[in-house]
Amino acid sequence: MKTNKPVLFAAGSLTLALALSACGAPDEEAPATSSDSADDGDSGGGGVLELLGDLASRTEAVDNYTLDMDITSTDPELGETEMTFTYEVMADPQAAQVTVYMPAMGEMFAELGGPGAGLSAEEMSTSTVIVPAEGEMLVSNHNGLQEADTAWVRGGAGEGQQPVTDSMFDTSELPKVAGAVASIDTIEETGSEEVDGVSTTVLEGSFTAEDLDELEPDQRSALDELVGGATGAMDVSLWVSDDGFPMRMDFSDDVSSISMVYSQLGETSFEMPSEDEITDL
């Protein structure tokens, strides 16, 4: 994988939760993921293949969740870079609240001074946006860096905020990523563990360069966008619930590691700002 992934993630993953209308199937019941649900939770004779069989469709069916993504990347010149993204996605109304924490960015702005001088590095490191299914993105003014007296602004980000571009990875691509992972021939069961109170089976495997080349084009494209370009061997770990939902997915190579953990399935919500809390820029 490329060593410039921190830039790719900063620009792309910030809005991972954008394609809300494609994220879930409104008429399809989301899979039960509690440890006491479904008599079909026993993977039985199907073993790993049965757990992976519906991985993509189960991922697509969920349209209310919290997703925490932790990224660590090592660069020979920049050293180790850490980033955390928290996506709160709700279905009614359809919207996603995304909180980004990038310590290196805050430290850089704190050293340079200028806008936000006097804010802590942590305050400068944190950005929050709300992306509705319809309408423009809202940017939080929690650190006072926006040219407004309101808690939110609509239409842009102020100086020192995280970049937002049209090159976005959205949640409609996650089922394709899950489908790509489900195609790994070498994947095997390695144990069991609870994730957010849900019993899961832990599976581990790896992509070779040849495996990546043999993926369906849409799966390869989605995986490339997620990891910033998959070009060589990559280890993958999965935590799959009894009914086939990927409660956690980890990807790693000798440069970077990504961990995506789901929680609050069917229970995620946040308050949308009222118009008097928003300034249009």
Summarised one tens digit per residue, pLDDT across range 219-244 is: 998 888 888 777 778 899 999 999 89
Q: Is the pLDDT of residue 2 over 90?
A: no
Provide the sign of the torsion angle of the four alpha carbons 218, 220, 224, 226, taken in this order.
positive
Summarised one tens digit per residue, pLDDT across range 104-158 is: 665 565 555 555 556 666 777 788 889 898 888 899 888 777 888 999 999 765 4
**Where are any strands of DSSP class E within 117-255?**
126-132, 138-140, 152-154, 188-195, 198-207, 234-241, 246-252
Greater confidence (215 vs 31) lies with 215
Summarised one tens digit per residue, pLDDT across range 168-221 is: 457 678 899 999 999 998 899 999 999 999 999 999 999 988 999 999 999 998
d(CA 196, CA 201): 13
Summarised one tens digit per residue, pLDDT across range 89-102 is: 999 999 999 888 88
